[in-house]
Amino acid sequence: MNVAASGAARARLKAATIVAAALFLAGQGLLWFAYYGNGAKRLIGDEAAYQQFALDILGGGSWMPSTIWPPLQPLFLAAIYSIAGVHVVAVQLVQTLLFVGCAVLLRAIWRRVDGSVRAANAAAAIFLLNPANAAYADWLWPEVPHLFLVLLVFWLLLERPGSRAAAAAAGVCTGLALLAKSLLAAFWPVFLIAFFRSERPRFRALPAALFLAGIFLATAPALWHGWREFGRPMIADSSMYNLWVGLTDRWRVDYVEDMGGATLAEFLASGATPEQRNAVYLRKVDDLVAERGIARIAADQIGRQYFRLFSAKTPLLSQLPGPACAGHLSVYPASPAVARTLTIANDVFHALMLAGCAFGIACWRRRPGFALWLIAAYMAYQLALMAVLHVKARFLFPMIPFLCAFAGTFYAGLRTRIAGADVEGLAFTAPRLALGAVFAALLLVFAFAGPALDGLCGG
């Protein structure tokens, strides 16, 4: 590339960065106006529980206030409140910085995997500019801190595979991620594969030990608390509750006759300890399987779970004004114009992400390296969990960065192809494009067809 072409490329990158920053700030302004413009949005569901736990901690209560919810988010909120006062806006500012950090980490990870700066930039932009993603930073759920920790683990293990300090830090981050959400409970051992050297097969024992030590360091206080209180090392255990609700959910979208909230009180009242409650609900699950049979249960799960997971009625849309019969909580005091703008942006970005991801996977022709296999294992694990457990649309959030990554690869490659240049790593052949179209259509059906299939609001 000559000097003039290089200068033009830098100018285009600078202009694109300015436009992306302006769009991000405009989106943030719109979200904040929707949240506070006509009085603050009220907290819903687990948000209210996390808030109360944090206030209890500040008042001298237990730092492990629940056997259902892991403790990191209440501690995180309490730490912020102890510095800034009990103001939700302080949490929102900190989580917005973490959300931007997620985009930075995604860009770094995908630049290593794809090898293209343009694809990495596109992936980060698709993630960052979607208001449905950015809105997670405004809520008190632990989604943003958990995702930041998970992406930091990926980055540390992929960028510094031989570093002892990075291994220890990755272990601490993994432990903290487990303290934020329980999703990694059965997956974290897979990260140990990162300590195998491929160029001369052997296991990096010391970095792996430091990784394990980091996990233990982060989780030991919570595990000791579980051992002391309940006779076994545990952080939080809602697995049987989520399995039961996942098997008895009926609707394909969130917050329509929500089974989660209705079942939680019954679950907590079913026993004095997590072990007793799990035993009660394991018997209920066994009875349900005996009554319905595996084949019917599997058919029900296939016909419902991924509609809930990939639904375009994201937590943002669910909280905007709308008919309750369609699962709208109407807790945002947003005007019709603001709600309409956010809805359009949500639907456009959601469709672009899912369709771009489908084509990006279908057209991918590089030989998968370790990083891609690790990401694929992580995605497969998440999808397997969501096949049976209770699904909220927000449970897609841990997968969204990598959906955006494949979409970024496809859109960056498509731009290059339209410009008449060859695209390294992608094959725009008719069979691959046809496969991508089928995959994209399936994901878009999951995203948008659920309400119609459920016949919500008499439709």
DSSP assignment of 163-217 equals -HHHHHHHHHHHHHHHHH-GGGTTTGGGGGGGGEETTTTEE-HHHHHHHHHHHHH
CB contact set of 77 (below 8 Å; sequence gap of 6+): 50, 51, 53, 54, 91, 140
Cβ distance 144 to 95 under 8 Å?
yes
Query: In 10 A of CB 231, how many CB atoms?
Result: 10
Cβ distance 267 to 67 under 8 Å?
no
Distance CA(103)–CA(100), nearest Å, equals 5
The per-residue pLDDT for 114 is 94
CB contact set of 10 (below 8 Å; sequence gap of 6+): none
Closest CA to 67 of 239, 243, 245: 239
The per-residue pLDDT for 84 is 97
Structure tokens at 258: 């929500």
The per-residue pLDDT for 322 is 93
Structure tokens at 11: 């100018």
The per-residue pLDDT for 207 is 93
Phi, psi at 330, each rounded to 5° = 55, 40
Q: What is the mean pLDDT of each run of 10 residues along the chain (459 residues)?
A: 64 82 94 94 94 96 90 97 97 98 98 94 97 98 98 95 93 98 93 81 86 97 91 88 93 88 87 91 95 95 96 97 93 94 98 98 93 96 95 96 98 90 88 98 97 84
Angle at 133 between CA 122 and CA 329, to 5 degrees: 155
3-class DSSP state of 95: helix
| pTM listed for this prediction | 0.95
The per-residue pLDDT for 192 is 94
The per-residue pLDDT for 200 is 66
Give bridge partners of residue 148 from the DSSP assignment. Answer: none
Closest CA to 35 of 140, 148, 128, 143: 140
Angle at 277 between CA 275 and CA 278, to 5 degrees: 65
Distance CA(272)–CA(288), nearest Å, equals 23
Give bridge partners of residue 442 from the DSSP assignment. Answer: none
Distance CA(231)–CA(229), nearest Å, equals 6
CB contact set of 318 (below 8 Å; sequence gap of 6+): 254, 255, 327, 328, 329, 393
Cβ distance 179 to 70 under 8 Å?
yes
Compute CA distances 304 → 296, 300, 317, 396, 447, whole Å.
Answer: 12, 6, 19, 15, 12
Cβ distance 51 to 140 under 8 Å?
yes
Closest CA to 254 of 50, 52, 454, 441: 454
Cβ distance 359 to 417 under 8 Å?
no
The helix or strand, by DSSP H or E, that contains position 397, with its residue range, turns out to be: none
The distance from CA 19 to its chain's CA centroid, rounded to whole angstroms, is 26
Structure tokens at 270: 């079913």
Cβ distance 425 to 366 under 8 Å?
yes
